[in-house]
Amino acid sequence: MIKPIELVIFDCDGVLVDSERIAVRVQVALGAELGWPLSEGEVVERFIGRSHAAIREQVAARLGEDTAALWSQRFEKLHREAVDAELAPVEGLPEALDALTLPTCVASSGSHDKMRHTLGRTGLHERFAGRVFSAGEVPHGKPAPDLFLYAARRMGVDPAACVVVEDSRPGVHAARAAGMRSFGYAGGLTPAERLEGPGTTVFHHMRDLPGLIAELR
């Protein structure tokens, strides 16, 4: 028997805040500067939805630990500057949150410091105060299920009664591994076909989310 939805778990980057475009632009520039030329599509495929540590591991395997450390340092600086200058909520997201009546939380590959910054800059942090969870709190980041299972446990909800809102392939894979249904937001950088799969509904406009969730209840 399929359980009614009791909790909506949101990813952060690309779902709540339109930060993935900034991150991809910065990663492409760093790759060109530090010796690993990457297209936007390659950055989306390799990095989007993965933790800072997982990205650093990839860079270290390609360019060595010293360059990986420099890459991480430069990314944090350039990303923060761009966020301060131009970050906004995902289009339609505030209205979608206003229309939701279910409990919500955030479970992101980003660090707590990063989420305090991005959610704070967009006026969203107070909406999720005390209900923000980071991959840094669990042994394995997405696509492993650890983070979503941890969020469900902290919120006191059965994983089968959770639905995840994600915009990345590792994210929807993590939701499936956790035994959760998911919505794949294809209004960002990840093509819709990369989000498709069992238990996942792909959608393109954030304003449609409350209605789609209501259909599951």
Distance (Å, whole) CA 72 – CA 27: 10
Give the burial class of 2: count Cβ atoms within 10 A of its Cβ; 0-12 exposed, 13-18 middle, 19 or more buried: exposed
Pairing between β-strand 181-185 and β-strand 200-203 as defined by DSSP bridges = parallel
Position 1 pLDDT exceeds 70: no
Q: What is the mean pLDDT of residues 131-150?
A: 97
Residue 135: φ, ψ to 5°: -60, -20
Q: Which domain holds residue 44?
A: 20-86
Given 86, 109, 141, which residue is the final one in a domain?
A: 86
What is the reported pLDDT for 49?
Answer: 87
Give the bridge partners for 57, in sequence order: none
* pTM: predicted TM-score of the whole model, two decimal places: 0.90
Given 32, 55, 86, which residue is the final one in a domain?
A: 86
Residue 2 lies in a domain: no
**Three-state secondary-structure class, residue 200:** strand
Q: List, for residues 72-118, the tens digit of each pLDDT value.
A: 999 999 999 999 999 999 999 999 999 999 999 999 999 999 999 99
What is the reported pLDDT for 42?
Answer: 96
CATH number of residue 177's parent domain: 3.40.50.1000
What is the reported pLDDT for 59?
Answer: 97
Place 144 in a pLDDT band, splitting at 50, 70 and 90.
very high
Name residue 209's amino acid.
L
Known catalytic residue at 11: yes
Query: Do residues 61 and 24 touch, judged by C-beta distance below 8 A?
Result: no
Position 33 pLDDT exceeds 90: yes
Least Cα distance to 163 among 45, 48, 10, 27 occurs for 10
User: How high does pLDDT run on average in the chain?
Assistant: 95
Percent of the chain with pLDDT over 90: 94
Place 216 in a pLDDT band, splitting at 50, 70 and 90.
confident
What is the reported pLDDT for 2?
Answer: 81
Catalytic residue selected from 11, 18, 146, 167 = 11
More confident residue, 125 or 216: 125
CA angle 177, 169, 132 (to 5 degrees): 70
What is the reported pLDDT for 38?
Answer: 97
Q: List, for residues 161-211, the tens digit of each pLDDT value.
A: 999 999 999 999 999 999 999 999 999 999 999 999 999 999 999 999 999
Distance (Å, whole) CA 15 – CA 167: 6
CATH number of residue 57's parent domain: 1.10.150
Same structural domain, 26 and 11: no
Same structural domain, 134 and 95: yes
Residue 1 lies in a domain: no
Given 63, 86, 109, which residue is the final one in a domain?
A: 86
Same structural domain, 185 and 175: yes
Same structural domain, 77 and 93: no
Place 213 in a pLDDT band, splitting at 50, 70 and 90.
very high
Same structural domain, 78 and 185: no
Residue 135 lies in a domain: yes
- For the chain, the domain total comes to 2
Position 70 pLDDT exceeds 80: yes
